[in-house]
Chains A and B, each alone.
Chain A
């Protein structure tokens, strides 16, 4: 493991543990009260969900073009994290929405796009797991198609209906709301980096073991 890993992992862990306290110290939001604090986990999850999807998509394209397994490993790790952070986002979102708008789920552009993207990521993992040998390339093609799809899903659902709150919520927040948010964003970002590194490393070790097996056969 590279030198930076242990300190970063430690910091990340510490921040995670501390985050509820940081969130608790933020001001109450006037209309939604306590439940609004889910927002501090929901927003960062959503951002990391998005970033992980982009990482997976780009790595898949690079794998399709170059055939280098490193990109494939990155894509796999990122794909798993898309599913993980997707679950976090899709669970915290409705919990917040229930209090904010009175219903658990709303069919608007952003939520629907997230759901479909999450499903594509799940399909990606299912393909890798059950597709048999050679499914790495197929999965990469799926990831590429998934990425290309995002604007279409967004536009089509958007035209169909729209209710999600405007993105300008973040800049308008007073500092006491801003700090916990950025704190959580950094925490989740570090978490993403740590998990990616761990996962990629497992795959690298696996590849090394396979190579060892193969070299046993050489004259």
Chain B
């Protein structure tokens, strides 16, 4: 199972490194997103008080949506997703492989976005690196876990481009709330450990529950 997931991840990374299409477009889109917010919300040289956290997460989610769509669109050409499902590999392994690929991409995007947002909005995002990493990691996993399942599900559906955000955003509301509020807490002058721990615990629970659900339903949902 792990072997298969690793094979798929390696294949995705190889393909991506060759073409760099998704990487470039996703990163560029994420940066544009942040810029748009900057133009919309920065007044007299200062951004809105708590805005940085929200802007960061919105950019991540929009970029993630784009990346998910593109990744599975690529599998749709030449029907390679079908080929993956035809292999004797367990179907959940295919899911995990794709999920890891998306996570690598999103983490990479975040590495770029966090300093950018911190800079443009004068937000002290990097003052608590451990907690920031924890919140960003668990939140991204939650978003990607649900997103990978839905994007895979929709590969054969009509209107798949528009349906992905329609389905994904309402389901990932807890991730948005926990992620943004958690990150915002980190921007306060004094870190309230109780609050940040709560959001972190919520995100971890969300991740566990939804990755499990995704693994359970992947097989059923991908077969006709």
Contacts and interface: CB of A to CB of B under 8 A. Distances in A.
Interface stretch (B18-26, B45-53, B206-214): B206-214
Given A116-B170, A137-B221, A152 B202 contact: yes
Interface string B134-154: 000000000000100110011
A130 B162 CA distance: 10
Interface stretch (B91-99, B112-120, B172-180): B172-180
A146 interface: yes
A159 B174 contact: no
B167 A155 contact: no
B166 A127 contact: yes
A160 B159 contact: no
A156 B157 contact: no
A127 B167 contact: yes
B44 interface: no
Band of interface residues on B: 20 to 34
A138 B153 contact: yes
Contacts of B154: 131, 138
Interface stretch (A74-82, A118-126, A169-177, A181-189): A118-126
Given A130-B163, A145-B210, A138 B202 contact: no
23 contacts: A64-B217, A119-B170, A127-B167, A130-B159, A130-B163, A132-B156, A134-B156, A137-B220, A138-B157, A141-B221, A142-B167, A145-B210, A145-B213, A148-B209, A148-B210, A148-B213, A149-B173, A149-B174, A152-B205, A153-B174, A153-B177, A156-B181, A160-B177
Interface of A: 64, 116, 119-120, 123, 126-127, 130-132, 134-135, 137-138, 141-142, 144-146, 148-149, 152-153, 155-157, 159-160
